[in-house]
Structure 1
Amino acid sequence: MAETELPEPDRVEGAPHPRHTPRLFGHQAAEAAFLDAARSGRLHHGWLISGPRGVGKATFAWRIARHLLAGTPDMEVPADHPVARRMAALSEPRLFLLRRGANATGSALSADIRVDEVRKLKSWLTMSAADGGHRVAIIDTADDMASASANAILKLLEEPPPRVTLLLISHQPSGLLPTIRSRCRELRLPALRAEAMRDALTQAGAVVDDPLSLAELGGGSVGEAVRLLNLDGLEAYQTLVDLMGTLPRLDRARALALAESAAGRGAEARFDLIVGLIDRFLARLARAGTLGTTPPEAARHEADVIARLAPTPRAALKWAELQQTLGARARKGRAVNLDPAALLMDMILKIDGMAAELAQR
């Protein structure tokens, strides 16, 4: 299979690629900070754009690149601008996109950004820009770099070429080499609030009836919200909350129905969805019990269920411990190909057991 036939590793399924996403919502402070540096002549050669997955980091990087290469006074570059058109077509000679490429056989995407991909970037950097202007390289994501690739990028950051800006995108900057982080200026993007989530999803072509629930359940991530919409995640979470409302006297018939909905051929995405929703429900229980306040509801009657199951910090600690335990069990179960329905039922029974234990104290 040719590399051009492979899916783009930096694109969320069901949403346009960030290079086709013109506007950025909810991150005015980060844009203002970058523009202030650019206008004052203090444009750093390396920028680390960090934050939770799916909040708009890549969209921000592409906006920066369009601004620098088009030479506009602000971040807004018209879609019909020659630079914008070439970037959309991945044909802008002053832009380099470093991302995961094909594996050694060309049959699938590589698991990481291999060092031979970085060598292409270094070769590109040795060539002068045709007009002597600015050049930009986007690394999406720096988290994907293999060890040799990270060391090669570090050398570029230590001895940056003139008039080149490196934009590194990272979901987990703590996992990067400390020396890479120290040689970049970091701009951290927070999780999106409901209004910004609605606007971003509308731009992506999604129909949004309940942006608040999506913002809550998706952790403020547009990418996760798109996945939830594609998999009917809000409906699945409502089913889960309704089931948790029967604790500590679990409605086993409903629990079995939920577990079996993720079994069978082709149900892998459904299984991953439900495991993820269980994890989020337990996290919300733990957080609510610790803070003493319930979060905005992501499903009907969720606040009542959370308040009843996690009334104290002590209960919150128990739920947090169970979240960690069940997360590890789910990862191990998937690794050894346990029956999905049995694994999910076991997780639900463990939750029921914890609810019963806390109810007795």
Structure 2
Amino acid sequence: MGELTFFLGLQVNQKEDGIFISQDKYVGEILKKFGFSSIRTASTPMETNKALTKDEDCEYVDVHLYRSMIGSLMYLTSSRPDIMFLVCACSRFQVHPKVSHLNEVKRIFRYLKGQPKLGLWYPKDSPLILEAFSDSDYAGASLDRKSTIGGCQFLGSRLISWQCKKQTVVANSTTEAEYIAASYCCGQVLWIQNQMLYYGFNFMQTKIHVDNESAICVIKNPVYHSKTKHIEIMHHFIRDSYEKRLIEMVKIHTYNNVVDLLTKSFDVSRFNFLVASIGKRGRDIKILQSGGPPVKVGDEAVHQELGDRMERVVTTTSCFEAEHDSGSGPRVNTLGSGEDSMKLKELMAPCTKLSEN
């Protein structure tokens, strides 16, 4: 059959040192489809600190055109997490889109026009170390003041899964918002752990990097639990996962939390740093990787333990879906980071100095 080079709109460029996945052909097609082939470019997909509102005084636009543009961009997030936050935000206005919402969607296309060939780089020699990052933009939704959840999971330096979702409840504090975000991330980590068991790898005590120390204290220290009864019970399974050493909570500086890219907008310099750090590269560009051997599974008890934990994760996920409303705009993609936060900082430093092959 030959080497795989194209799959469901994804371009697969296989090299000796890794695999590069992109959708630049698809980007060209949708730019041409919606008449944006000759538009001016934008440096970021969204203006800094500009919240989307209902904009009652603005005129309505063609709902079919708006939904078609959103649908095309949704599929593009399979390899472009850099546009995921704004696409999810714009998708919440598909019922009654206004001119202001359409202008934001057009800015995404302007950004794609300037950066059509970005994609995901999966290096061959990167270590098999599962790590995750969690973050929340507290009360970031201007309409209902719900927080936005962001999460991403890496296998070595390979981004393999990422999430962007508006929370279904209004958090009363940043600690609660970060705690709920961490619980979502934990559920995804447990699912990945269970899947990797089939390939013979044990990723127990997976590090979840959180930039809120209070949320970590709530998970680690039972003394704080009496003050968090208002947090829904469905999110408390993360404490069980921590006590059974399935995950490990790690404090990370906000500046180095790469999942910020999925929760809010930034200026050009910060945005470019996050895009490079989260694993997106231009074609034929790579960064330095850290070393570390994979861990093979040799204990059946691990399988049993994770099997029990997965039952609870499935139950919790069902609860999430049952309470999910159409305005939450969830997106989860699954397609690639150091010993601790200091080593993570050292690993991410070369991201600002990309070098071509």
TM bracket (short chain): under 0.3
More strand by percentage:
2
Q: TM-score of the superposition, structure 1-length normalised? A: 0.27
Structure showing greater relative contact order (alpha-carbon pairs closer than 8 Å, 6 or more residues apart): 2
Structure richer in helix, relative to its length: 1
